[in-house]
Chain A
Amino acid sequence: MTVAVIVFPGTNCEHDVVHALGVLGCHAELVWHKETDLAGASGVVLPGGFAHGDYLRTGAIARFSPVMTEVARLAELGRPVLGVCNGFQILCEAGLLPGALVANRSLRFICRPVHLRVESTGSVLTAAATIGDVLRIPLNSYQGGFVAPAPDLAALEEEGRVMLRYCDPDGAVTDTANPNGSTGAIAAIANPAGNVAGLMPHPERAVEAILGSSDGAVLLGSFVAAAVAVGVAP
């Protein structure tokens, strides 16, 4: 069982994702963005960073990288696909998830731990979590404000596809606890099948207590369990 961690020019969280998955007992390999065959991958992670320099618009060039056709095919097959931060932005640009990410309302980059409330367990990101749990996970982005057209937002809410919301340490969703101005304090969403998920915070930065929190393990652990279930022969 191997998870493919996609590397675009400008990606920078790829080694961290491989390390964190390794801590959780999952083998992962770096895959260059020009690869066109991911048939052997039981799951795909699009890690954070600045793919293609974030030039033009975050994710706007990356969606045209050769590997993205294959990522879309695996998503269609129901294999777990996870986008973290820049990876989330790319999934939105590629149309695999609805909405877009815009500049933080402070117009400043934000790197600090935030609190997230689990809203649904219906995705490869949250299956092992418990609804109402509060997780403490680092955020690290300039364009982290989630927006979407009203019909998409309504569908996300009605179909229970909002996976995580920004909240305070006690789990209350408040405006002051919303770090970047995301609509509905949305931090993570999934597609209708739940196999494609994206989030702005970085769970790979929170799987070891010595780095400040291990709350990300339940999220990446959900993803790993889904990848194991796919059971593609290596």
Chain B
Amino acid sequence: MHRNLGMTDDEYQAVTGILDRSPAPAELAMYSVMWSEHCSYKSSRVWLGRFPTTAPWVVVGPGENAGVVDLGDGWLAALRIESHNHPSFVEPYQGAATGVGGILRDIFTMGARPIALWDPIRFGPLDEPRNRYMLKGVVAGIAGYGNAVGVPTLGGEIEFASCYAGNPLVNVMALGLLRREQLVLSAASGEGNIALLLGAATGRDGIGGASILASASFDEESGAKRPSVQIGDPFEEKKLIEACLELYQRGVVVSIQDLGAAGISCAAAECAANGGMGMDVTLDAVHLREPGMTPAEILMSESQERMLAIVRPDDVAEVLALAEKWEIDASAIGTVTTGGTLRVFQEGTLVAAVPAASLTEDAPRYERPRRRPEWLDAVWADAPVLPEHVDVAEALRLLLDDPALGDRSWISEQYDHQLFLNTVVGPGHDGSLLRIKGTDKGLAVSTDGDGLRCRLDPHRGGARIVWEAALNVAVTGARPYAVVDNLNFGNPEKPEVMWQFVEAIEGMAQACQAMEVPVIGGNVSFYNETDGVDIHPTPVVGMLGFCDPMPPFPPRLDRAEEGMAVWLVGPETGSDFAGSAFARVVLGNEGGRPGDVDPEQGRRTIATAIELAGWSPVLHDVSAGGVAVALAEICIRSGVGVTVAEGDWRLLLDESPHRMLAVLPAEADPSGLATRRLGAMGGEALDFGLLGVLPLGEAAAIWRNALPRRLG
């Protein structure tokens, strides 16, 4: 039976050892889920310690539901990232929707009001109907849930590669804001305190989602896993958010935990274990959606929109009255006990009795074997062969039509991205910028991933995405402040995948150290493979930037005007083409070894960005597509052309890191900050002289149509 639940024989023996007997069915169910890869991080935990996690402004680091940082004057921000890759493949709309719901619960569990979402998503090429169906379903699910629950979605990123066709990546990140006195943690304390289950009724949906879906690979039978996907109800969640925030405000909650993977088992075990306590849970009290559920089913159910609150006996009546006001169900299902045992009863019978901490802390840890992939040398040798001459206008016609580089409005316009009146810089820019009303403070956010570069060199690729995310927040005037990461990888039982995993972590960790930014949370998603084919190693970082004060007029892409000058900031190598958009789209090459980062230069560019953000109308990170695409985006968004006098096409299309463009008034002198003047804004074309001329109208039409012409 344990094998059907995704447990190995050794793990089953370990459970038997802990209990000193064979586990009952409900107990086995609990261990199978809590010890799953998804919940226990058993293959990754030994490596996650490589990340720097401390800084004076870190209030809550990794391990709680969300990381929390101090913004001064009593303000805190909570940040969390998660993946919902496997559920989204099985059922795109509900998979993506419940991903949004889950991440929001992680945020308001901390006492914070969720104020914004980002969704980094990755699919197979759009010429396949199934991939279009996946993208449309995922975007509709994010929009359907996020808009209705009332939390704006400010952006994310998108990538396409054939490795994601059988295993799309749907990551979701949420940001919350709270006052310091509202911070709530999950540790249950106080013998005799009552555990109240709040929110939706418990049903048979999502049973084993964490162990069966999230911790195993896909094959052609995966459609049969659809019952493991949960169904979301944003209206229920909205009521739950408002009810919980009011409970915190009244100070009637000792601690709280959301019910996500492994449902009641996980929430009860974590609440109890984190407080060094035990808990008696009575399953008869759980409000059920359907009769006849077994203890194991009730314990493992991943029905959405539920919270477990620990409340003093005297406060129970007030909490129940508040639940009634917000029209959510509430039932007292447990009592906090001393002794550390989690006991579960049904109809007066003890159906499970396990040490609470054993579910969370005794999970196995594997240091799985690692091996550098043999194919890597051949891939490095297959570097892009650069032509002598390239017509940059012609290259831009192809690049701007690429769905990963073209206008993303088809997606972002389906998301409410303005609710709460905080959005100063919204979708379509390098980073989002939110104001904190009533203060001069601003929060900038960017998510970045680069599957192809990480495949070519996970160490360098991992470092590059961290530096790029940092520059993306810096161009809004914010300094990099905290990182969360979502590590999407293939099957960790393959040594090559584990090698990629550890290399990427090292690269990311070094970048974080070099810029002195702490990692405050993360998530690992393994087993992203279908029919034995692993995805590109795809770590995704979420970078939080902070500025106080916020620039009065933060730079935007649409503020360039006729007569202004364009400056390049950062190094010019003209040689970084491995993994570039030019190599992939124009040359059809996906090989070579990408260039490394330069921490010294990285810090300098970030400092320059923050300084220029105070007075530059436009600042734009140079990334995919190089200077040429960055310029095109500024021109299209601002409705004005540009003339660039440049003799070497390589300088316009390579992707060496730590660079940005600044558009400044003609008379401004940024000497000491900028590398050199590239040209002047004006006219009706992207005019590269001898390297080609692309009419602005044509560029705009290609760019705007890149997604719509494929998606309809």
For the complex, is A16 an interface residue (Cβ under 8 Å from B)? yes
B239 adjacent to A12 (CB under 8 Å): no
* B327 contact set on A, CB distance < 8 A: 9
B418 adjacent to A140 (CB under 8 Å): yes
In the bound assembly, the distance between CA atoms of A135 and B553 in angstroms comes to: 22
Known contacts: A50-B150, A208-B421, A210-B424. The answer to whether A10 contacts B413 by CB under 8 A is no
Known contacts: A19-B437, A210-B424, A210-B435. The answer to whether A53 contacts B148 by CB under 8 A is yes
Known contacts: A9-B327, A110-B413, A112-B409. The answer to whether A138 contacts B235 by CB under 8 A is no
* B409 contact set on A, CB distance < 8 A: 112
Known contacts: A19-B437, A111-B414. The answer to whether A205 contacts B421 by CB under 8 A is yes
For the complex, is B479 an interface residue (Cβ under 8 Å from A)? no
CB < 8 Å: which of A20, A55, A205, A211 contacts B235? A55
CB < 8 Å: which of A16, A55, A112, A208 contacts B419? A16
* A32 contact set on B, CB distance < 8 A: 325
For the complex, is A57 an interface residue (Cβ under 8 Å from B)? no
For the complex, is B147 an interface residue (Cβ under 8 Å from A)? yes
CB < 8 Å: which of B414, B416, B421 contacts A211? B421
B548 to chain A, nearest CB (A): 16
In the bound assembly, the distance between CA atoms of A142 and B145 in angstroms comes to: 13
For the complex, is B143 an interface residue (Cβ under 8 Å from A)? yes
A9 adjacent to B326 (CB under 8 Å): yes
A12 adjacent to B234 (CB under 8 Å): no
Give residues of chain B (409-455) contacting chain A, Cβ–Cβ below 8 Å.
409, 412-421, 423-424, 435, 437
B147 adjacent to A109 (CB under 8 Å): yes
A211 adjacent to B420 (CB under 8 Å): no
CB < 8 Å: which of B238, B325, B424 contacts A12? B238
Give residues of chain A (8-22) contacting chain B, Cβ–Cβ below 8 Å.
9-10, 12-13, 15-16, 19-20
A50 adjacent to B435 (CB under 8 Å): no
In the bound assembly, the distance between CA atoms of A53 and B237 in angstroms comes to: 10
A174 to chain B, nearest CB (A): 18
Closest to B139 in A: A108
* B147 contact set on A, CB distance < 8 A: 50, 109, 111, 140, 142
* A138 contact set on B, CB distance < 8 A: 418
**B: number of interface residues (CB 8 Å):** 32
In the bound assembly, the distance between CA atoms of A53 and B145 in angstroms comes to: 11
A19 to chain B, nearest CB (A): 6
* A142 contact set on B, CB distance < 8 A: 147
Task: Point out which of A12, A15, A32, A54 has the most chain B C-beta atoms below 10 A from its C-beta.
Answer: A12
Give residues of chain B (222-277) contacting chain A, Cβ–Cβ below 8 Å.
233-236, 238-239
In the bound assembly, the distance between CA atoms of A210 and B186 in angstroms comes to: 38
Interface of A is mostly: mixed
Give residues of chain A (103-162) contacting chain B, Cβ–Cβ below 8 Å.
108-112, 138, 140, 142
* A54 contact set on B, CB distance < 8 A: 148, 235
A10 to chain B, nearest CB (A): 5
A200 to chain B, nearest CB (A): 14
Known contacts: A52-B235, A54-B148. The answer to whether A140 contacts B416 by CB under 8 A is yes
A16 adjacent to B415 (CB under 8 Å): no
Interface string of A194-223 (1 = CB under 8 A from B): 000000001011001011000000000000
Q: How many A-B residue pairs have CB under 8 A?
A: 80
CB < 8 Å: which of A111, A202, A210 contacts B413? A111
For the complex, is A43 an interface residue (Cβ under 8 Å from B)? no
Give residues of chain B (391-423) contacting chain A, Cβ–Cβ below 8 Å.
409, 412-421, 423
* A181 contact set on B, CB distance < 8 A: none
CB < 8 Å: which of B143, B148, B418, B424 contacts A205? B418
Interface string of B194-206 (1 = CB under 8 A from A): 0000000000000
B421 adjacent to A204 (CB under 8 Å): yes
Closest to A140 in B: B416
B321 to chain A, nearest CB (A): 14
A9 adjacent to B235 (CB under 8 Å): yes
A105 to chain B, nearest CB (A): 14
In the bound assembly, the distance between CA atoms of A129 and B3 in angstroms comes to: 70
* A108 contact set on B, CB distance < 8 A: 140, 413-414
Closest to B113 in A: A15
B397 to chain A, nearest CB (A): 25
* B418 contact set on A, CB distance < 8 A: 111, 138, 140, 202, 205, 211
For the complex, is A49 an interface residue (Cβ under 8 Å from B)? yes
Known contacts: A12-B238, A19-B437. The answer to whether A111 contacts B148 by CB under 8 A is no
In the bound assembly, the distance between CA atoms of A15 and B420 in angstroms comes to: 7
In the bound assembly, the distance between CA atoms of A9 and B239 in angstroms comes to: 6
In the bound assembly, the distance between CA atoms of A50 and B140 in angstroms comes to: 16
In the bound assembly, the distance between CA atoms of A110 and B417 in angstroms comes to: 10
In the bound assembly, the distance between CA atoms of A231 and B602 in angstroms comes to: 60
* B238 contact set on A, CB distance < 8 A: 9-10, 12, 50, 53
A53 adjacent to B235 (CB under 8 Å): yes
Top-8 shortest CB links A-B:
A53-B235, A12-B150, A109-B414, A50-B148, A112-B413, A109-B143, A111-B416, A16-B421
Supply 29 A–B pairs (Cβ within 8 Å), ascending by A.
A9-B327, A10-B148, A10-B235, A10-B238, A16-B419, A19-B421, A20-B421, A50-B147, A50-B234, A50-B235, A53-B235, A53-B238, A108-B413, A109-B144, A109-B147, A109-B414, A110-B413, A110-B414, A111-B147, A111-B412, A111-B417, A112-B413, A140-B416, A140-B418, A202-B418, A208-B421, A210-B424, A211-B423, A211-B424
| Additional A-B contact list (17), CB under 8 Å, known A10-B238, A108-B414 | A9-B238, A9-B327, A20-B421, A50-B148, A53-B148, A53-B233, A108-B413, A109-B144, A109-B416, A111-B414, A111-B416, A112-B409, A112-B413, A202-B418, A205-B418, A210-B424, A211-B421
